[in-house]
Amino acid sequence: MRLCAALLVVAGLVAGPARAEDKADEEKAPVKLTAAELADKINAALDAKIKARKAKPAPAADDAELVRRLHLDLSGRIPDLMTARDYIDSPEKDKREALIDKLLDDDRYAVHWANVWRGWLLHDTGDQQLIYLAPQFEVWLRGRLKANISYDSMVRSLVTSSNRGMYNGAGPSVFLQVNQFKAENVASAVARVFLGVKVECAQCHDHPFAKWKRKQFWETAAFFSDLPDPFNQVDAQGRPIVRQRKAGEIKIPGGDKVAKAKFLDGKEPKVTGNDYRGALVDWMVRKDNPYFARAAVNRVWEQLMGIGLVEPLDEESVENPPSHPGLLTLMAQQFAEHKYDLKYLIKAIVSSRAYQRTSKQTDATQADHRLFARMKVRGLSPEQMFDSLSIATGHKDDDAPYDPRFGLQVNFNSARSDFVRRFPAPDKRTEQHTSILQALYLMNGTIVADATSLEKNKNLAIIAEGKSVPTGRRVDQLFLITLNRKPTKAERERLVKYVDKGGPKKDPARALCDVFWALLNSSEFCVNH
């Protein structure tokens, strides 16, 4: 493995003197804060740095911008016409808080965030097997998220799961299988995803700059020396064949040295029986662990805010400290105090002023995204894009036949599956970009073509041919359906004129279809702002 260039001196709490502008967010936290109280702490920490930098924060997002953002972030798709219109027109003062609670309680929360966590946990290895593993894994995640199982419990299931075979609905074991049941691969994934540490950089050599040594990498890998054979081989009694290794020990490649399991802090585990993986999780989820809660908080923050408090993710160090160190410490502490409740963490973040600011840059001092003086525009994941297109167009995906091999409804040839394959998610899921081929697919693909056809889209035909309804109101409807807002005065005037003249074919109904097509292919539709 090539030597990583990134510095990885991670000590949990960043060493060195704090800058004056960071002191305001280093206040000691009370024993336990509500989500609203934590949101206030977030506001205070971010506002203090904005003030120290003499920046001017952007104003709050309007109702149309926020209802779309919250639905995309909590449900994974845009709101429908009625939901967007009712929210925008509602005079209730507490409607934002009510919407957040409603979306977190909806089943779509589990559907969307299962997709998010699946993307983090199952890195794309290019292995076609992943196509078959991902659906069952996502179904398993969905069940845990729907029940609001604590994050530490989910991690314990993933790290300590046994290999029950690919076709037995073994959700958590997919995490091990995608890492080929290799101790070194699983150790790298566990450290990176759950601890925010790229310890794999020391797999072949001691890191020349960071504190991680090659021996430490293999001491971490030794926790997984009991992993079963990757080819699911079993003995005469049907038990998985385990490689001939002593529990908690692993041979370091290239010599005769053996590494014994040790935590990243250098301490030896106290193991009951041979449950080394269980001992590792026990250490990871302790409230005083300097990595576990911080890594989760930073990952969720980046998903919702577009950029992490530590950026790049998994590379916190003296050379790469958090933008708001005291805030990260506070949020990690509260996440642990609330028994690693993901909904609590998400609610606190989306209730903050920073999350609810407009994405429009209203002042030059808002250019630095790590100030969080305005919301960062984020790309949509392939799943968000497809599901939003389905809401806007009324498209219903092919019914997925029951496949007994996987124990779930799955159709690898559905329109959704085909769409997602064309739009592979990048390493940084909040920075999705559309290629030329993907843009052409959106412009000319079956879904958009059918949706903008009067013959195939009955709802569009009703809107287009409703001559008793003023053109301006019909244009308003299309904007609410696609962009979840009403058009500006200039947009309405220009499009009403275009529709009334009938466009190039001199047909007002067809011209309205052109407007719908343009909105679906607009850059505004393709991003979360």
Tens digits of residue pLDDT in 463-474: 877 778 899 999
| pLDDT above 90 (res 362) | yes
- Give the pLDDT band (50/70/90) at residue 123: confident
- CA 364 vs CA 47, 329, 371: distances in Å: 17, 30, 12
Lowest mean pLDDT among 33-42, 114-123, 477-486: 114-123
Q: Give the residue from 178, 193, 172 showing the smallest Cα distance to 126.
A: 178
Alpha-carbon distance 451 to 445, whole Å? Answer: 10
Distance of CA 361 to the CA centre of its chain: 24
Report the DSSP beta bridge partners of residue 228.
Answer: 242
**pTM reported for the whole predicted model:** 0.88
Tens digits of residue pLDDT in 417-430: 777 777 765 556 55
- Give the pLDDT band (50/70/90) at residue 212: low
**pLDDT (mean) for 267-296:** 94
Can you point out the beta strands (E) in 359-502? 378-379, 402-403, 408-409
Tens digits of residue pLDDT in 55-70: 999 999 999 999 999 9
Could you tell me if 319 and 9 are in contact, meaning their C-beta atoms sit under 8 angstroms apart? yes
**Whole-number pLDDT of residue 105:** 97
Q: Higher model confidence: residue 509 or residue 113?
A: 113
Sorted by sequence, the CB contacts under 8 Å of residue 51 that are 6+ apart come out as none
- Give the pLDDT band (50/70/90) at residue 412: low
Alpha-carbon distance 196 to 291, whole Å? Answer: 7
Alpha-carbon distance 311 to 302, whole Å? Answer: 9
| pLDDT above 80 (res 431) | no
Three-state DSSP class for 20? helix
Tens digits of residue pLDDT in 156-200: 999 998 754 444 445 898 898 888 888 888 999 999 999 998 866
DSSP string, 233-245: -B-TTSPBPBPS-
DSSP string, 299-328: HHHHHHHSS-SSSSTTB-SSSS--SSHHHH
Alpha-carbon distance 244 to 15, whole Å? Answer: 42
Lowest mean pLDDT among 75-79, 125-129, 148-152: 125-129
**Whole-number pLDDT of residue 415:** 74
% of residues, the chain, pLDDT over 70? 79
- Give the pLDDT band (50/70/90) at residue 275: very high
**Whole-number pLDDT of residue 425:** 57
Could you tell me if 350 and 102 are in contact, meaning their C-beta atoms sit under 8 angstroms apart? no
**Whole-number pLDDT of residue 44:** 97
Sorted by sequence, the CB contacts under 8 Å of residue 428 that are 6+ apart come out as none
CA-based radius of gyration for the chain = 25
